[in-house]
Amino acid sequence: MSQTPDIHALLEGVRAGTVSVAEAEGVLRRKPFEDLGYARLDTHRQLRSGFPEVVFCQGKADAHLVRIFETLWQANGAVLGTRATAEQFEQVKKVLPNAEYDPVSRTIRCESEPKPRKGRIVVCTAGTADLPMAEEAARTAEFFGRNVERLYDVGVSGLHRLLARLETLQSARCIVVAAGMEGALASVVGGLVACPVVAVPTSVGYGASFGGLSALLTMLNSCANGVAVVNIDNGYGAGYLAAQIDKMGENEP
């Protein structure tokens, strides 16, 4: 067993007889991080949390980035990179030919085989300009094995567009809302549903939006219950949190 499973899958494998006690012991004894000198990669993260380490690509030297991807691929059989450029993707693809790049979300994804997806996450945007952050959230959640439905361009300036999809919203286990300008969409959605809402303030708007600060403050001050807020433009953080919430609800009816 060369790749690190999550601990539940490892123990289930031992019980089912598909993983030997010696193999499981080898995984648990494995060094919990890989020291590359310029990076210490958390190769036990999937074992602890069920989700492997994700690479923040922005600002990394090409040689470092490629080696990080290679190492995580060897450990986990899957790698997700965020805030990546097309040029960085070309470097990664030289060593991982199955890597895929999405220019909207700026993510690089490598998987030995697609994960079966479960759950019910909905990702909404107020406008089309919020798509990069929303897609970063959606693709993160999908990488972690979650089903994602997208509802884009349903902002409060045309509220009927959102209300037309009320059944979809109310069937979700978790909803991600990406909105700039004044950021009101998260409060509206929070008032319509029973599930948690993860709000992503985006740096979309005119000067007085202060690069997403106005949306951030609106979302932090929401009077709707069950609205949590991540940092400005942090689609990855929203997608990760939504995946955690959704996974915890798998045994619910």
The verdict on 43 and 87 lying in the same domain is yes
Query: Who contacts 253 (Cβ-Cβ below 8 Å, separation ≥6)?
Result: none
Q: Which residue has the higher pLDDT, 31 or 238?
A: 238
Residues, the chain, total? 253
For residue 13, tell me if it sits in a domain: no
**Could you say which of 47, 82, 111 is where a domain stops?**
111
What Å distances lie between residue 2 and 21, 28, 74, 77, 134, CA to CA? Answer: 15, 12, 8, 9, 34
The verdict on 41 and 106 lying in the same domain is yes
Cβ-based neighbour number of residue 13 at 10 Å: 17
Radius of gyration of the chain (CA): 19
Stretch 198-215: mean pLDDT: 94
What Å distances lie between residue 176 and 12, 137, 222, CA to CA? Answer: 32, 8, 15
Q: What pLDDT does 52 receive?
A: 80
Q: What pLDDT does 251 receive?
A: 62
Q: What pLDDT does 63 receive?
A: 93
Q: Using alpha carbons, select from 97, 121, 123 the residue that is nearest to residue 111.
A: 97
- CA gap 111, 46 in Å, rounded: 15
Place of tokens 């499973």: 5
Cβ-based neighbour number of residue 130 at 10 Å: 28
The verdict on 53 and 152 lying in the same domain is no
Position 2 confidence tier, pLDDT thresholds 50, 70, 90: very low
Stretch 196-216: mean pLDDT: 95
**Could you say which of 111, 146, 163 is where a domain stops?**
111
The verdict on 242 and 165 lying in the same domain is yes
Domain count, the chain: 2
Q: What pLDDT does 249 receive?
A: 74
The verdict on 71 and 48 lying in the same domain is yes
**Could you say which of 111, 131, 157 is where a domain stops?**
111
**Strands 107-111, 100-102: parallel, antiparallel or unpaired by DSSP?**
antiparallel
pTM of the predicted structure, to 2 decimals: 0.83
Residue 131: both structure tokens together:
């798509």
- CA gap 228, 242 in Å, rounded: 10
Q: Which residue has the higher pLDDT, 144 or 23?
A: 144
For residue 244, tell me if it sits in a domain: yes
For residue 24, tell me if it sits in a domain: no
**What is the residue-wise DSSP string for 105-156?**
TTEEEEESSPPP-EEEEEEEESSGGGHHHHHHHHHHHHHTTEEEEEE-S--G
The verdict on 105 and 133 lying in the same domain is no
- CA gap 231, 18 in Å, rounded: 42
**pLDDT exceeds cutoff 60 at 5:** no
What CATH number does the domain containing 191 carry? 3.40.50.1970
The verdict on 184 and 99 lying in the same domain is no
**pLDDT exceeds cutoff 50 at 1:** no
The verdict on 69 and 125 lying in the same domain is no
Q: What pLDDT does 87 receive?
A: 95
Q: Assess contact for 190 and 226: CB atoms under 8 A.
A: yes
**pLDDT exceeds cutoff 90 at 102:** yes
For residue 158, tell me if it sits in a domain: yes
The verdict on 73 and 128 lying in the same domain is no
Q: Assess contact for 80 and 210: CB atoms under 8 A.
A: no
Q: What pLDDT does 246 receive?
A: 92
Q: 157 φ, ψ to 5°?
A: -75, -10
The verdict on 122 and 243 lying in the same domain is yes
Q: What pLDDT does 93 receive?
A: 93
The verdict on 214 and 125 lying in the same domain is yes
Domain holding 62, by residue range, is 31-111
Model confidence pLDDT, tens digit, residues 153-188: 999 989 999 999 999 999 999 999 999 999 999 999
Q: Which residue has the higher pLDDT, 59 or 43?
A: 59
Mean of all residue pLDDT scores within the chain: 88
The verdict on 141 and 226 lying in the same domain is yes
Tell me the β-bridge partners of 101: 108
Q: Assess contact for 118 and 92: CB atoms under 8 A.
A: no
